[in-house]
Chains A and B, each alone.
Chain A
Amino acid sequence: MTETAYSKPVPDLDDPAMAPFWTAARDRRLTAQQCTACKSYRYPALEICPTCLEQGANWVDVSQEGTVWSFATYHRAFHPGFKDELPYVVAIVENADGVRYTGRILGPRDGLAVGAKVRARFVDCTDRFTLPAWELVAA
């Protein structure tokens, strides 16, 4: 698939702060920054650890299992790229490491609820951009 064929918004893949996250997504890895001093996770990227105010950090793989903190179902496309997928679901997912991600819920929605179990799923959108998203795990 080429970039011109993909009609939804593409994140800033060249933002040096977040580039490691997007590179990892292409390899089906979900990542977060981890403070080298206090080991706290943070996402999105920050230049300093807000827990201990130390600057050192690495991008590390984190759990691809999570639970739905909440979700919203868009019945209107505020961006034309989503028109063909209405209604679509965006959720805040807290993964097993306590990191929260805002992303799509893809696939069947039976059982979609606050607290529902989900796992990460990666969608190749363009040559350079893979979207981390989530799908429900049967209870």
Chain B
Amino acid sequence: MDKDIRGKVAIVGIGHTAQGELPGQSPELNSVLAIKEAMRDAGIDRSALDGLITCKSVQGTNTDCQVGPLLGINPRYAQTLDYGTCNFSIHLAVQAIVTGMADTVALCYGANARTAKFPFGFTAPTLAGASGLMHVGGPAALALQRYKSLYGMTDEEFGYIAVGAREWARRNPVALFRDPMSMADYLAMDYLIEPLRRPDLTMISDGGVALILTSAERAGDFPNKPVYILGMSEASQIRGEFTPSYLDREFLGLASQQIWNSTGMTQSDIDLLYIQDPTAFWVLQMIEHFGFAPLGEGGKWLAEGHTLPGGSLPLNTNGGQLSECYMWGWMHIVEAVRQLRGVAGPERQVSGAEIAMYLSTQTWFKGGASIISTHKG
């Protein structure tokens, strides 16, 4: 069986709303407004769409059946992912397109958790909740504390993730957090959930993001340079907390092996790296699990400056969730496409970037990796 998906599907449209506070706008409206922008970017109207994949909002809304009435179409193929962090949505779209279930698919995410005041302080009615474990920063802080204990990473080494995100965000007009933040500034900040500081955690914001994917055969008909999917992989740890040491997220190593084996690429082929970053520690873990730095040495590797502006492997050039906006990592892929098209603007465009990798996770349950490029193979 031909399992090679390389170059068979391309991203031909990107769109998003303003990010930040969008009072009175539902996740579904934000999704549809983003799809409008993506259709404008792709030079199509709704008659060209025969697929829709929506990603549920944090409240569990924004399903395909809730977006459908606003979008005004009944596409052949419609699905909703429970936690469709961009990778998973892209991978599902590739599967639908290569199997002929759809030709041109819109993918969307919408959020209003900021102005809807979603209670992130919510605690589960469990021993952990009664003990005060709350916010995704809690588990991330537990994981980071253990990592620091095992490998001796300093706060400064770890700080390169948040400081680097801010450096990139300062070059991005969409980003919500653009004030300068030096390493000294970072280190002077109090801990929020020790050993995490405020800038090591994403802030909730409202917005919508959409992508349009189509088959390689059709991609040439669209106005922009197509960005092809060259490889994709996923791995799960759906046993969750019943997996010993689940916070170490070692299962991501399987997604890593699979994407390098299936594409024949290595870490040195990657020009741009995007990592979904609700917490800075997830970034460090993924840098190591995907082999960009050896286990336990990610902090030292970061301190060498590879991921900063001017470095050899720019990371989250939009500022990521830490400094750009919440959006569950969807804006990372928008940025990757802009960079690969060469339209990211003079301040942050990475010259000659041809291959980007995007990594995301659903906390400690699932992970995905995608490699995209303006080249088909």
A42 to B127, CA, bound (A): 14
Chain B residues closer than 8 Å to A103, beta-carbon distance: 127-128, 131
| Cβ < 8 Å to A, chain B residues 244-296 | 244-245, 247
Chain B residues closer than 8 Å to A15, beta-carbon distance: 125
CB 8 Å contact bits of A44-78 with B (1 = contact, 0 = none):
10100010000000000000000001111111101
Q: Per DSSP, are chain B's interface residues mostly helix, strand or loop, or mixed?
A: mixed
Chain A residues closer than 8 Å to B145, beta-carbon distance: 70-72, 114
Q: Which listed residue, A9, A50, A87, touches B123 by the CB 8 Å rule? A: A9
Which residue in chain A gives the minimum CB-CB distance to B135?
Answer: A78
Judge if A19 is at the interface, Cβ distance under 8 Å.
no
CB 8 Å contact bits of A12-40 with B (1 = contact, 0 = none):
10010010010000000000000000000
Given A12-B125, A71-B145, A72-B141: A50 in contact with B193 (beta carbons within 8 A): no
Interface size class of A (residues with CB under 8 A): 35 or more
Beta-carbon contact of A70 and B131 below 8 Å: no
Beta-carbon contact of B146 and A114 below 8 Å: yes
Beta-carbon contact of A11 and B127 below 8 Å: yes
Beta-carbon contact of B138 and A79 below 8 Å: no
Beta-carbon contact of B131 and A131 below 8 Å: yes
Judge if B121 is at the interface, Cβ distance under 8 Å.
yes
Judge if B120 is at the interface, Cβ distance under 8 Å.
yes
Given A74-B193, A102-B131: A11 in contact with B126 (beta carbons within 8 A): yes
A92 to B150, CA, bound (A): 16
Q: Which listed residue, B123, B134, B146, touches A69 by the CB 8 Å rule? A: B146
Chain A residues closer than 8 Å to B126, beta-carbon distance: 11-12, 18, 44
Smallest Cβ distance from A124 to chain B, in angstroms? 13
Chain B residues closer than 8 Å to A42, beta-carbon distance: 242
| Cβ < 8 Å to B, chain A residues 78-115 | 78-79, 82, 87-88, 90-92, 100-104, 113-115
Chain B residues closer than 8 Å to A9, beta-carbon distance: 123, 125, 129-130, 132
CB 8 Å contact bits of B108-149 with A (1 = contact, 0 = none):
000000000000110101111111111100100111011001
Beta-carbon contact of A114 and B133 below 8 Å: no
Judge if B101 is at the interface, Cβ distance under 8 Å.
no
A44 to B145, CA, bound (A): 23
Q: Which listed residue, A12, A50, A72, A129, touches B194 by the CB 8 Å rule? A: A72
Smallest Cβ distance from A117 to chain B, in angstroms? 15
Chain A residues closer than 8 Å to B121, beta-carbon distance: 78-79
User: 27 A-B residue contacts at CB 8 Å?
Assistant: A8-B130, A11-B126, A11-B129, A11-B130, A12-B126, A15-B125, A42-B242, A44-B127, A50-B239, A69-B142, A70-B142, A72-B145, A72-B193, A72-B194, A72-B195, A73-B141, A74-B193, A75-B192, A76-B192, A79-B132, A88-B132, A90-B138, A92-B247, A102-B128, A113-B149, A115-B149, A131-B131
8 closest cross-chain pairs (CB), A and B: A72-B141, A78-B121, A70-B146, A114-B149, A12-B125, A102-B128, A73-B194, A70-B142
Known: A15-B125, A21-B127, A90-B128. 13 other contacts (CB 8 A): A10-B130, A11-B126, A18-B126, A44-B127, A69-B142, A72-B138, A74-B193, A78-B120, A90-B131, A90-B132, A92-B142, A115-B149, A133-B131
Partner-A contacts on B (CB < 8 A): 120-121, 123, 125-135, 138, 141-143, 145-146, 149-150, 190-195, 239, 241-242, 244-245, 247
